[in-house]
């Protein structure tokens, strides 16, 4: 069992997070291509599926991860015989996980972030922490790489604690590639905030540009270096490229729209299955980001 609040320091390899402002842009496709390209070139790689609400990278790796480890969050439990109803625990909770009902505290564990602040401020030591299962970490060694995914417990209200646990328990490899959740909300920030570089995947459409702008705002707010990959280039317009030039955002790669790629992906194959020559391109990009290439 893994405690989500385990904050012991860890040595990190070079970490690339692949993210997108919305789903369906090809984020998982490109995360898989990056990880498999590095693994096939002899690099030690870990691929993390951090889209814990709907993980699907394993489908393209043709594996069903095992070795499940339970992930828990420490939540407060009130000892009613010692509690005086002072309300200091409620005042300390920034997430409204504790409310006062008839002079007694009531805990909503689904809202708790496990910070432990309520326990620290309780003058009667009436609060102890108990583990609550939030999901599982599942792993496999496949296709020359180490794969790990988070799987959120059905009914769990929030995913960032599980995502942080996934990153803390990642296999120690030279490279970590993170398949982030889609969008720009808290789960994405939890997935990308410790990355060395963020690749934002978009598509050349008005919707793609709108969501790219949101994603760029997100990574700029957390101060991360980033670049853009335009997937299905040539299918729509050139507004994404024009906006990136205006904003001085580097376009790291453009992947042309291809029916062969779409057909292969629909059949459960990867980008490299459809276009093996892309392996060299992804390896060169990764090495360049890590300062190991031209």
For the stretch 6-27, pLDDT in tens is 444 444 689 999 999 988 899 9
**233: pLDDT strictly greater than 90:** yes
* Inter-residue long-range contacts of 287-292, CB under 8 Å, 24+ positions, other chains counted: 289/14, 289/16, 289/196, 289/197, 290/14, 290/196
Fold of domain 80-125: Alpha-Beta Plaits (3.30.70)
Helix, coil or strand: residue 47:
strand
Q: By the 8 A CB rule, do 199 and 288 touch? A: no
DSSP letter at 52 equals T
Please state the rounded mean pLDDT for residues 274-289. 95
Q: Considering only CA atoms, give the Rg of the chain.
A: 21
- Proportion of the chain above pLDDT 90, given as a percent: 82
pLDDT-based confidence at residue 151 (cuts at 50, 70, 90): very high
Q: In the chain, where are the structural domains located?
A: 2-71+143-289, 80-125
Q: What is the pLDDT of residues 176-221, one digit of tens each?
A: 999 999 999 999 999 999 999 999 999 999 999 999 999 999 999 9
- State the Cα–Cα distance between residues 120 and 46, nearest whole angstrom: 37
What are the residues facing 137 on neighbouring strands?
A: 69, 150
pLDDT at 236 over 90: no
CATH architecture type of domain 2-71+143-289:
3-Layer(aba) Sandwich (3.40)
Residue 23 CB neighbours (<10 A) = 14
Residue 10 has a pLDDT of 42
How far is Cα 100 from Cα 90, in angstroms, rounded to an integer? 7
Are 3 and 72 contacting, i.e. CB atoms less than 8 angstroms apart? yes
């Amino acid at each position: 069992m893994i405690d989500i609040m385990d904050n012991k320091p860890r040595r990190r390899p070079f970490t690339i997070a692949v993210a997108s402002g919305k789903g369906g842009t090809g984020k998982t496709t490109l995360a898989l291509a990056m990880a498999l390209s590095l693994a096939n070139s002899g690099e030690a790689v870990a691929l993390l599926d951090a889209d814990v609400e709907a993980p699907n990278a394993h489908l393209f790796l043709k594996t069903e991860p095992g070795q499940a480890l339970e992930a828990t969050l420490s939540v407060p439990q009130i000892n009613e015989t010692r509690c005086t109803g002072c309300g200091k625990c409620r005042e300390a909770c920034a997430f409204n996980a504790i409310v006062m009902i008839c002079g007694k505290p009531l805990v909503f564990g689904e809202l708790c972030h496990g910070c432990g602040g309520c326990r620290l401020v309780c003058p009667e030591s009436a609060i102890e922490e108990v583990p609550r299962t939030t999901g599982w970490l599942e792993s496999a060694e496949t296709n020359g790489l180490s794969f790990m995914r988070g799987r959120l417990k059905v009914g769990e209200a929030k995913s960032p604690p599980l995502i942080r646990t996934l990153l803390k328990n990642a296999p120690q490899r030279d490279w970590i590639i993170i398949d982030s959740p889609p969008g720009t909300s808290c789960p994405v920030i939890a997935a990308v905030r410790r990355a060395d570089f963020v690749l934002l995947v978009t598509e050349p459409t008005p919707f793609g540009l709108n969501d790219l702008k949101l994603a760029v705002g997100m990574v700029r707010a957390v101060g991360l270096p980033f670049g853009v990959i335009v997937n299905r280039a040539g299918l729509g317009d050139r507004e994404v490229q024009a906006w990136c030039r205006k904003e001085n955002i580097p376009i790291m790669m453009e992947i042309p729209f291809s029916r062969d790629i779409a057909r292969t992906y629909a059949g459960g194959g990867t980008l490299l299955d459809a276009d093996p020559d892309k392996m060299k391109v992804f390896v060169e990009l990764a090495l360049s980001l890590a300062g190991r290439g031209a």
